[in-house]
Amino acid sequence: MPMPQQPEGLCLRCLRPPRSTRPCVIEAGGGRILHEWPEHHRDDWNDAELHEFSLTRWRWPLNRRTMLADLRWDQLESDCERDGHEVFDIEGSKGCDHCHHPLVWVATADEAA
């Protein structure tokens, strides 16, 4: 499911509004800085950036204005589209340990043959 698209002018990394003079950073508790960039990213993500994030091509138009933190989910799902899900089964409940997608049915080796 595509993530919500952010309004135009909002920084897609730190979510600061257009007129903000605060630096482009992601902060953790206690004033620690997790990531810091020299300038805000207020424009849509371009094809090269979305390719660098390893998103499958069909996801690019859906994520032009997705915030950086939410792109991670599309990265994980793109990985599984390319490489397959890492299936776990806990008491009959199947899911992917990589993208956390709930799997209703997964073919076993016997069923695939």
Handedness of CA 6, 42, 75, 50 (dihedral sign): positive
pLDDT recorded at residue 102: 75
pLDDT tens, 59-88?
Answer: 999 999 999 999 998 998 898 888 888 888
CA distance 59 to 43: 18
Which helix (DSSP H) or strand (DSSP E) does residue 90 occupy? strand 87-90
Q: Residue 91: its pLDDT value, please?
A: 79
% of the chain exceeding 70 in pLDDT: 88
Greatest Cα-to-Cα distance within the chain, rounded to the nearest angstrom: 61
The per-residue pLDDT for 105 is 57
Query: What does the pLDDT read at residue 2?
Result: 59
